[in-house]
Amino acid sequence: MVPIVLVLLAAGTLMIMAHRQNSANERREKEALEQIAREVESYEDDVRDEGRNSYPSQARTRAIAQRYYATLVSYEPSDRSLTTRVKFFGTYEDTTVFGTSLSRVYRCYSFRFLEGAEGRPRRTTLPRQQCNRT
C-alpha cells in the first residue's frame, strides 16, 4: 500500500511542477511578444522620423531595424511610399524538468510608409512563409 501512495504522490508532484513550468513559459513568451510589439512601434516612429524629408536609405533602414533586434527582409521604395518587411525577434527562458534553455519567438511585419501621410503607417502581420528573404 505504501509504494502505491508514494508513486501517486510523486506523480502528483511531477504534474504540478509541469503545470507551473508551462504557465511560467507561457508568461515569459507573452512578455517577449509584448516586447516585440513595443519594438515594432519604436521602429515605425524611427523610420517615420528619419523620413521627414525623404525616406531613409536601405542601409539606414536596416540599421534602425537592427537597433530593435530585427532583420530587414525587404526594402521597396516607390515615388510616394516605402514598403519594408521586417522580422522582429524576442527571446525568453524556457524551463523544463531537464533544465533551462533560451527559446526564440518572432513576428514578421510589412510596413507601408506613405509620403506626407499623417498618423501611423499601415502595418500587416505576415505569415511565416512570407517572412523569408527574397
Return the axis-axis angle of helices 58-67 and 2-50, rounded to nearest 10°: 150
- Mean pLDDT, to the nearest integer, of 66-71? 92
pLDDT at 18: 82
CA of residue 22 relative to chain centroid, distance: 20
* Order of strands across the sheet that contains 122-126: 70-77, 81-96, 99-114, 122-126
Helix, strand or coil, per DSSP, at residue 55: coil
Single-letter amino acid, residue 49: D
pLDDT at 10: 83
Give the number of other CB atoms < 10 A from CB of residue 118: 5
Single-letter amino acid, residue 94: D
Predicted TM-score of the model (pTM)? 0.79
> Is 27's pLDDT higher than 90?
yes
- pLDDT, tens digit, 9 for 90 and up, residues 88-115: 999 998 887 788 888 889 899 999 988 7
Q: Is 73 within 8 Å of 133 (Cβ atoms)?
A: yes
Looking at per-residue pLDDT, the higher value among 42 and 13 belongs to 42
Which are the contacts of 101, defined by CB distance < 8 A and separation ≥ 6? Answer: 93, 94
Helix, strand or coil, per DSSP, at residue 78: coil
pLDDT at 117: 58
